[in-house]
Amino acid sequence: MKFLFEDESFSFEALRAAGYTAYAGADLGEVLVTCRQIPEGDEQAWSTQWAATAARIEGIGRDALAAGHKVSAREALLRASNYYRAADFYRRDDPAHDPESARLAKAAQQAFADAAPLLDTPARALSIPYEGTTLPAYLFLVDDSGAPRPTVIFHGGFDSILEESYFAIAVGALRRGYNVLAFDGPGQGAPLRQQGLYFRPDWEAVVTPAVDLALTLSEVDNDRIALIGMSMGGYLAGRAAAFEHRIAACVLYDGVYDLHEPFAAVAAQAASTPGGLDAVIARNTGASWVVRNGKWTFGMSTFDEVVEATKAYTMAGITDRITCPTLVLDAENDQFFAGQPQRVFDELTCEKELILFREDEGAGEHCQEGALFLFHQRTFDWLDTVIAH
């Protein structure tokens, strides 16, 4: 689905940012005027223009907060957080030593943190104990009654951040009576940027501490915990569910069977292109970003090392260890993992369902970007059937 740009990567990321309009994470006019100032494939302009929009909207939020207009402040700060996230997205030449990347990431976190106390429903910042350190989390609650409720444990994937989870899953869950415990793990958000924690294939080592914490929370119904992983998180959550059996249901959003394949495809393209990887990067925004973000999030100095490392990220031989009911989501136009959700589904031996989101219903993009209402309707209606309220 082309959206505002011919460049496939820019189109997708613009749609991603705009899609959060559904839950007050963007305003369409702001997205349009920002994107029209960005030339095709110009990553510097992308960062500059999104950062300028974010700063302008944050200013509205800060002024509103100072004047006691809490709803206006919340709305602006939520949008600013999303826009700062977008501004940082392509700054991947050396993000560990890029002051502007660090500033944008911090601004996205802070804008959301300042909006959280202003939400209509409680949002509590938590820390998940993890291997001698902690992982940042938010507990989003339906209300302040303290009543135990079905709870979603949620994490993102290759590039999402904790603050994005509010728009991607939490609002839709809260409206349906589900609490949400969302967190960033190794290779993601603050654990990557501030603690130097890189991705690991044995994601059960990350989810199990989150489940441990959830079980100590009075607002969590211990028998009705669902795990949802987004994008690359569709592999991570599947891997975790194969070994962590206190989970009552799992949603792979979308299903990922073999993370190595898309990375190997970029390497193969480089091998067959005159000029090699440098030539591929120079003319393909998406491939360039995958290479650079891969080196950072996996902690590797070369893309060849990343390609090798991703071989460990596969559901082969472990899919049948998932015992809880599992929903596998698929997207007709998925540009990253085409065909993989079906492969995961075919190997599942538990209670299972596969839902294909189509282009002709406006939901065919990877992770149903731009179709949040349809994604949430189908996902939570399924959860309602397997985790009875």
CB atoms under 10 Å from CB of 215, counted, come to 11
Active site residue 231: yes
- Considering 81, 231, 272, 301, which one is annotated as catalytic? 231
The per-residue DSSP string of 215-274 comes to TT-TTEEEEEEEEEEETTHHHHHHHHHHH-TT-SEEEEES--SBTHHHHHHHHHHHHTST
Whether the per-residue pLDDT at 134 is higher than 70: the answer is: yes
Residue range 165-202, pLDDT digits in tens: 999 999 999 999 999 999 999 999 999 999 999 999 99
| Distance from C-alpha of 388 to C-alpha of 341, rounded to nearest angstrom | 26
pLDDT at 173: 98
pLDDT at 389: 54
Considering the chain, what percentage of its residues have pLDDT values greater than 70? 99
Q: What is the pTM of this model?
A: 0.97
Local confidence band at 35 (pLDDT 50, 70, 90 cut-offs): very high
Whether the per-residue pLDDT at 131 is higher than 80: the answer is: yes
pLDDT at 157: 97
Residue range 106-115, pLDDT digits in tens: 999 999 999 9
